Amino acid sequence: MSTVVDDGRQSFRPSMLLYDTRYRSLTIQVVAAILIALGMSWLLWNVVQNLAAQGKDFSFGFLGQRAGYDINQQLIDYNSNSSHARAALVGILNTLLVAFLGCVLATILGVIAGVLRLSNNWLVARMMTVYVEGFRNVPLLLWIIAIFALMAEGMPQPRDFREGGDASMVLDSVAITNRGIYLPMPVWGPGSGVLLAVFAASLAAIWAFRRYAHKRQEATGEILPVLGVSLALFFLPAIVFYFILGGPVSLSYPELKGFNFGGGLHLRNSLIALWLALSLYTGAFIAEIVRGGILAISKGQSEAAFALGLRPRRTMSLVVLPQALRVIIPPLISQYLNLTKNSSLAIAVGYMDARATLGGITINQTGRELEGMFLLGLFYLVLSLLISGVMNIYNASIKLKER
């Protein structure tokens, strides 16, 4: 017994590491791991050496220092006495804002264009083809700059709105200028909290009603008027309570004051250009994904639905789209990720996103390129992982439930 084991040990020769299939893959993996580790440590070593040669260290202390610069679009309180960390946060929120607005609009545009491209109406289908091909095949950067230039060069200046000037506000409440668009902004007076609560309750009621209607249809086959009831629930309670509470929400209108408009909501050129360009561009890709998703569902499915007497719209929403979604969602995730990362093209129009604050001015004023870029990379990584995580959960929820 023991001799057998001894034999096995003695028969091991170093060359077996290469020629014996039992060991070979292990050998390759160990060698590869060592090479990668060497490469990484070489890079790291070089960084440390070069930093030392320049007399710099690696530290995040700068985040706590006074930023000293102003940011024109702030979703949270910020002034030049705030810290660099706060400035980074302002930029991050601006990135999130444009990414969110962009994803929403791109999805709406994409779904509409994708469905209409399959329309039987020749003109509509061709128009959508022109949209898709036009936006997909021209670099995003050009669209951003084109829209920005159109706004800056083509729109009137605020001072043209003065008495005797040749520009005037749309409906006396919206000013389209070469510095952006000024809109009336709701002012939340006392009691508006109640109104918001009522509105939230309406939304919950709509959701509950749709569920109930669905269950009932499954059980009895009876169809309830979902759309009408939903619309009524959406508007009526809020309007009734608005008057009961004595109009707690009022609008603040933009007004020309000195150099610029004051009051109201200011959508900057940079935001508009970036938002529209990102949405139109990504929308064109989403349109193709939606079209592909719909075409992937075999024709037999709709024919079967028609044979059962379902009308075309119901066939689309009950039979085709639920199945198409499974094909659409995974590539859609990539498009959302692309849009989010492409938002860093904000640099072209001076939109103050995370790249511009943390990855731009802060780096420049503190000389912390390495640390700043590291944090910026980390931010985009975490954001992308979050988006794909959420979308994957959604994807799992609409997966074919097999028994």
Partner 1 sequence: MIKSVFLGTFAAAGLAAGVAGAATLDDVKANDVLKCGISTGLAGFSAPDANGVWQGFDVAVCRAVAAAVLGDSNKIEFVPLTTQTRFTALGSGEIDLLSRNTTWTFTRDVDLKQTFVGVNYYDGQGFMIRKDMGVGSATELDGATVCIQTGTTTELNLSDYFRVNNMDYDPVPIETNNEAIQQYQAGACDVYTTDASGLAATRATFEDAEAHMILPEIISKEPLGPVVRHGDDQWADIVRWTLNALIAAEEYGVTSANLEKMAEGTDNPEINRLLGNEGNLGEMLGLDAEFARRAIAVAGNYGEIFASNIGEGTPIGLARGLNAQWTQGGLMYSPPFR
Which positions lie near partner 1, rule CB under 8 A? 34, 38, 41-42, 45-46, 49-50, 53-56, 68-72, 79-80, 152-153, 157, 159, 178-179, 257-260, 262, 269, 347, 350, 352, 356, 360-361, 364-367, 369
* Residue 185 CB, nearest approach to partner 1 (Å): 17
CA nearest to 370, candidates 17, 31, 44: 44
Using alpha carbons, list the distances in angstroms from residue 57 to 153, 285, 314, 359. Answer: 45, 44, 64, 18
* Residue 153 CB, nearest approach to partner 1 (Å): 5
User: 21 or 59: whose CB is closer to partner 1?
Assistant: 59
* Residue 48 CB, nearest approach to partner 1 (Å): 8
User: 196 or 348: whose CB is closer to partner 1?
Assistant: 348
* Residue 318 CB, nearest approach to partner 1 (Å): 50
User: 162 or 215: whose CB is closer to partner 1?
Assistant: 162
* Residue 336 CB, nearest approach to partner 1 (Å): 27
User: 38 or 385: whose CB is closer to partner 1?
Assistant: 38
User: 80 or 334: whose CB is closer to partner 1?
Assistant: 80
User: 185 or 224: whose CB is closer to partner 1?
Assistant: 185
What span, in angstroms and rounded, lies between the C-alpha atoms of 282 and 103?
Answer: 8
* Residue 329 CB, nearest approach to partner 1 (Å): 37
The residue whose two tokens read 């919950």 is: 204
**What token pair was written down for 100?**
């969110």
* Residue 365 CB, nearest approach to partner 1 (Å): 7
User: 70 or 133: whose CB is closer to partner 1?
Assistant: 70
Using alpha carbons, list the distances in angstroms from residue 83 to 71, 77, 135, 362. Answer: 12, 12, 40, 10
User: 177 or 342: whose CB is closer to partner 1?
Assistant: 177
* Residue 149 CB, nearest approach to partner 1 (Å): 8
What span, in angstroms and rounded, lies between the C-alpha atoms of 214 and 374?
Answer: 49
**What token pair was written down for 162?**
């003065």
What span, in angstroms and rounded, lies between the C-alpha atoms of 184 and 204?
Answer: 28
User: 292 or 350: whose CB is closer to partner 1?
Assistant: 350
**What token pair was written down for 57?**
């260290």
* Residue 362 CB, nearest approach to partner 1 (Å): 10
Strand 260-262 versus strand 265-268 pairing type: unpaired
* Residue 80 CB, nearest approach to partner 1 (Å): 4
Which residues are CB-neighbours of 292 under 8 A, at least 6 positions away?
Answer: 327, 328
Residue 178 pairs in a beta bridge with 180
User: 266 or 291: whose CB is closer to partner 1?
Assistant: 266
